[in-house]
Amino acid sequence: MKKIGIINSEISEVISKLGHTDTIVICDSGLPIPDHVRRIDLALKQGVPSLLETLSTVLEEMEVEAAFVADEMERASPQFKRELEAVMKGVPVRTVSHEQLKRLTHEAKAVIRTGEFTPYANIVLQAGVIF
């Protein structure tokens, strides 16, 4: 059994296989996930687990150089956006349209689905390097 870090074997595996600029997505319970992209479904019930809790845990193991969220998040969920940016701790969070964000999911190595019910609560994480 793992002693530290993410104990979800699927998430741990995906992170360990990421190369520079590869992406993963952490999404709310409603984002459409392309059939050809690996789905890691953590959603248990409304709000469980939350996107921010999941994101914080992933960031403990994943080196992230950039992130992308939908422009619409600012209008629909401004408090959530502020909380998300605080969790990102200085990593650039760029905005794209929600339609563009959905297109980015097609290139992701995996999509981690949470129980989040906040509108536009989705983030694409781009892997960095640790050297």
Burial classification of residue 22, based on how many CB atoms lie within 10 Å of its CB (0-12 exposed, 13-18 middle, 19 or more buried):
middle
Query: Known binder of ligand: residue 28?
Result: yes
**8 Å CB contact between 23 and 127:** yes
Q: Which residue has the tokens 């409304």?
A: 46
Query: Known binder of ligand: residue 98?
Result: yes
Catalytic residue among 5, 13, 17, 20: 20
Query: Known binder of ligand: residue 120?
Result: yes
Query: Is 20 among the residues known to form the active site?
Result: yes
Helix (H) or strand (E) holding 69: strand 64-70
Q: Is it true that the peptide bond before 34 is cis, omega within 30 degrees of 0? A: no
Return binding residues for substrate.
28, 98, 120-122
Q: Just list the catalytic residues.
A: 20
